[in-house]
Amino acid sequence: MTDAGYGTPAPVGLLYTEEERQRRDRTVWTLVQGILAPVQFVVFLVSLGLILHFLVTGRGQMPAEVSVVVKTLTLYAIMVTGAIWEKEVFGCYLFARPFFWEDVFSILVLALHTAYLAALFLALLSPAGLMLLALAAYATYLVNAGQFLWKLRLARLDHAARQAQALSPDGPALRPALQPALKPAGAAR
């Protein structure tokens, strides 16, 4: 079975095919994602602090509300650029095989952040209700961020496995013509 994108899936246990890995390494969107993800996390931490301050003290409603808007805008930016990255690497904007469940959960994250914006601008909730909705959105964001951090770890393990395979004299990365040259003298042929 193939993705909606470029071709055959990566072998079991590998996150990317060799071609996908090369596309990932070539595209500028990998760097963009690498910059936006920590920026979004810092915005999240500041916003979380402002929300908790407001909920505990009753003061700072406006900064807390604005911080959630800023967090939502950074989320939109990383989602749009992430979809472009996914298209460049896997050939589809969302739901590529290796990131299917992360993308599914991202839709929930987007829905809750967008619900916050709607509730804020349409005055649908009390200030405390808005902050609780923001906290629900942030909880889903943390789960989703954890999913992506796990995939980053898998990508690093994938890279290490490929390097070890390439260095192994028995590895399938060696051309069959080279394998006899690496056998010790006197070994059975």
Q: Are 10 and 16 in contact (CB under 8 A)?
A: yes
Q: Is the pLDDT of residue 122 over 80?
A: yes
Helix (H, G, I), strand (E, B) or coil at 119: helix
pTM of model > 0.85: no
Indicate the length of the chain as a whole number. Answer: 189
- At residue 156, the pLDDT reads 79
Task: Name residue 155's amino acid.
Answer: A
Say how far apart CA 126 and CA 132 lie, in whole Å: 10
Say how far apart CA 97 and CA 81 lie, in whole Å: 18
Q: What are the residue boundaries of the structural domains of the chain, listed by start?
A: 18-166
| Bigger pLDDT: 164 vs 94 | 94
The mean pLDDT of the chain is 85
Say how far apart CA 81 and CA 30 lie, in whole Å: 9
Nearest residue to 98 via CA among 10, 28, 29, 163: 10
pLDDT tens sequence across 67-111: 999 999 999 999 999 999 999 999 999 999 988 999 999 999 999
